């Protein structure tokens, strides 16, 4: 479980807030999507959980423990993290990339190899990828390896920051569907950041809409769609419909 | 000079040439080694700590701007003549390319890679040893190559303060107005520089594959 209480972040000693008084609770096995336009503070919110960004105030708990009391390396080793940039290590093979966390923990080579194979199967990559280098993979394959690496340490919690953001629409769709399948199997506690409304509706159990550093509304998909709490939420979700209408009209001109 | 005369000239200097080349290699090798030992940690420090970056790069940059003969002259009253002041001067010259390239190599690593390492729970030390230094290695090796090649050139001047090396031929040739001796020293140093550059290039390629 992940809990945030009155969490704020300022980068300029309180003049402006990137994130302001955020309260969130993500239940075990739930996928909560943080949805918002760019610059709304969703990534900063996410990064405060594994302390890639230090919160200015408020309390963040992961599985009942205040993250500020956890040794930094241990905290991060126990939270999977996948992001749009992927950040695969170019001088390591796919297998070495996936199991780097286990290597840091001093796990034996045999165990790491077995784990790498298991993870590749999990993200639907063939076993022969194990000895390839990141630059030999397509964008979608790289992102799969990134997710495999985030999951290799068997963390209970997972942070995903627009993991499919850099992919083409078709690959993204495939990966979203596979993510859903995977999540049904693994039951991780996930916070998933995206600006893509359709993606949010696809992967979310619940959605938290963020705007200008604050949470506008948290709720199930139906709640947010049927009872938008603010004008911002209403407009945000009206957008895809508007775009579809334009698209439809263009097709029938 | 005919071919046989050249062969005779070289043969008569063969033993001495070998000895001077060894001296020259020692001067360059020891100073470049010291500069690596000093410059690599300095480069890492400069990359990690933006406060000392300006001053450190500035100071090692200033060494580079002092004309080599003047540097040797400066060191004379401090360290006397011979091997020691020559090694000191050569080390100071070799510092800049090594420090700067270490810094450049580390600073040029893709931010996403650094973020991934942080997110996976690397300690600073693990990040440096497993990710940053290996990825910066080609740039660092390029710096070492530059340092070594400059070193071979400047080491010819250390003959002026009695440190030996191939510069002795140039010195002697100048004193005796003997072009053959000057060329013997100059060409040997040039060939040495090319060989060292080539070998370090091979090393760099081998390390990249490893």
Structural domains in chain B, sorted by start: 17-209 (1.10.3720.10)
User: Which residue is associated with the tokens 């003047």?
Assistant: B70
Q: Quick check: B2 pLDDT over 90?
A: no
CB B117 within 8 A of CB A81: no
The H-assigned helical ranges of B120-159 are 124-126, 133-155
Taking only the tens place, the pLDDT of each residue in A61-91 is 999 999 999 999 999 999 999 999 999 999 9
Q: How confident is the model at residue B118 (pLDDT cuts 50, 70, 90)?
A: very high
Q: How confident is the model at residue A192 (pLDDT cuts 50, 70, 90)?
A: very high
The pLDDT of residue A240:
84
Q: How many CB atoms lie within 10 A of CB A150?
A: 25
Residue range B51-56: mean pLDDT, rounded: 94
The pLDDT of residue B81:
87
The H-assigned helical ranges of A78-165 are 94-98, 100-104, 109-122, 139-151
Distance from CA of A89 to the nearest CA of B (A): 6
Q: How much is the CA Rg of chain A, to the nearest whole Å?
A: 19
Residues A76, B134: C-beta atoms closer than 8 Å: no
**How far apart (Å, rounded) are the C-alpha atoms in residues A246 and A122?**
39
The pLDDT of residue B204:
86
Q: Quick check: A29 pLDDT over 80?
A: yes
Residues A72, B121: C-beta atoms closer than 8 Å: yes
The pLDDT of residue B185:
93
Task: Report which DSSP code applies to A41.
Answer: S
> Do the strands A2-9 and A206-211 form a parallel or antiparallel pair, or are they unpaired?
unpaired
The pLDDT of residue A191:
97
Q: Quick check: A250 pLDDT over 70?
A: yes
The pLDDT of residue B1:
61
Taking only the tens place, the pLDDT of each residue in B58-71 is 999 998 888 888 88
Mean pLDDT, chain A, rounded, equals 93
Q: Quick check: B209 pLDDT over 90?
A: no
**How far apart (Å, rounded) are the C-alpha atoms in residues A210 and A202?**
18
The pLDDT of residue A7:
96
**How far apart (Å, rounded) are the C-alpha atoms in residues A33 and A162?**
10
Q: Which residue of A has its CA nearest to B116?
A: A87
The pLDDT of residue B7:
86
* Best to test chain A binding among B121, B136, B209, B210 (most A CBs inside 10 Å): B121
Q: Quick check: B136 pLDDT over 90?
A: yes
Given CB atoms, is B142 within the 8 Å cutoff of chain A? no
Q: Which residue of B has its CA nearest to A85?
A: B112
The pLDDT of residue B210:
63
- What are A22's strand-pairing partners? A7
B115: chain A residues, CB-CB within 8 Å: 52, 83, 85, 87
**Rounded to 10 degrees, what is the CA torsion of B155, B160, B163, B165?**
50
Residues B113, A89: C-beta atoms closer than 8 Å: yes
Taking only the tens place, the pLDDT of each residue in B146-189 is 999 999 999 999 898 888 899 999 999 999 999 999 999 999 99
Query: Of A30, A5, A10, which Cα lies nearest the Cα of A184?
Result: A30
The pLDDT of residue B13:
86
Structure tokens at A199: 């993606």
Q: Quick check: A243 pLDDT over 90?
A: no
Given CB atoms, is B123 within the 8 Å cutoff of chain A? yes
Q: Calculate helix-pair angle for B179-209, B3-48, nearest 10 degrees.
A: 50
């Amino acid at each position: 479980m992940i809990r945030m209480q009155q969490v704020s972040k300022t980068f300029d000693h309180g003049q402006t807030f990137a994130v302001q008084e955020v309260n969130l609770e993500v239940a075990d096995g739930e996928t909560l999507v943080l949805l918002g336009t760019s610059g709304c503070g969703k990534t900063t919110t996410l990064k405060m959980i594994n302390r890639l960004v230090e919160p200015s105030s408020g309390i963040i708990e992961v599985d009942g423990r205040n993250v500020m009391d956890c040794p930094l390396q241990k905290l991060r080793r126990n939270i999977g993290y996948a992001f749009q940039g992927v950040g695969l290590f170019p001088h390591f093979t796919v297998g070495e990339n996936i199991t780097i966390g286990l290597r840091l923990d001093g796990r034996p080579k045999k165990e790491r190899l077995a784990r790498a194979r298991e993870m590749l199967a999990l993200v639907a990559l063939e076993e022969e990828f194990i000895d390839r280098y990141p630059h030999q993979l397509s964008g979608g394959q790289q992102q799969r390896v990134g997710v495999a690496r985030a999951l290799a340490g068997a963390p209970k919690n997972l942070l995903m920051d627009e993991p499919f953001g850099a992919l083409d629409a078709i690959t993204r769709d495939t990966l979203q569907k596979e993510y859903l399948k995977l999540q049904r199997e693994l039951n991780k506690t996930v916070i998933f950041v995206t600006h893509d409304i359709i993606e949010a509706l696809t992967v979310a159990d619940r959605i938290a809409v963020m705007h200008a550093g604050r949470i506008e509304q948290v709720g199930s998909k139906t709640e947010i769609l049927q009872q938008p709490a603010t004008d911002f939420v209403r407009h945000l979700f009206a957008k895809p419909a508007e775009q579809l209408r334009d698209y439809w009209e263009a097709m029938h001109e | 000079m005919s071919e046989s005369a050249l062969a005779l000239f070289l043969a008569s200097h063969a033993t001495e040439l070998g000895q001077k080349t060894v001296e020259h290699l020692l001067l360059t090798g020891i100073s470049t080694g010291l500069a690596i030992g000093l410059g690599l940690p300095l480069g890492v420090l400069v990359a990690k700590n933006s406060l000392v970056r300006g001053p450190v790069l500035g100071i090692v940059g200033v060494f580079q701007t002092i004309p080599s003969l003047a540097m040797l002259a400066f060191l004379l009253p401090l360290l006397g003549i011979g091997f020691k002041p020559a090694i000191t001067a050569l080390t100071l010259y070799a510092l800049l390319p090594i420090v700067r390239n270490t810094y450049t190599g580390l600073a040029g690593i893709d931010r996403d890679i650094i973020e991934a390492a942080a997110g996976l729970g690397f300690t600073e030390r693990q990040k440096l040893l497993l990710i940053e230094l290996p990825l910066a290695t080609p740039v660092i090796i390029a710096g070492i190559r530059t340092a070594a090649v400059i070193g071979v050139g400047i080491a010819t001047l250390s003959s002026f303060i009695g440190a030996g090396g191939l510069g002795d031929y140039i010195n002697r040739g100048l004193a005796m107005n003997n072009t053959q001796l000057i060329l013997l020293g100059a060409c040997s140093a040039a060939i040495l520089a090319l060989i060292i550059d080539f070998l370090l290039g091979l090393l760099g390629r081998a390390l990249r594959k490893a």
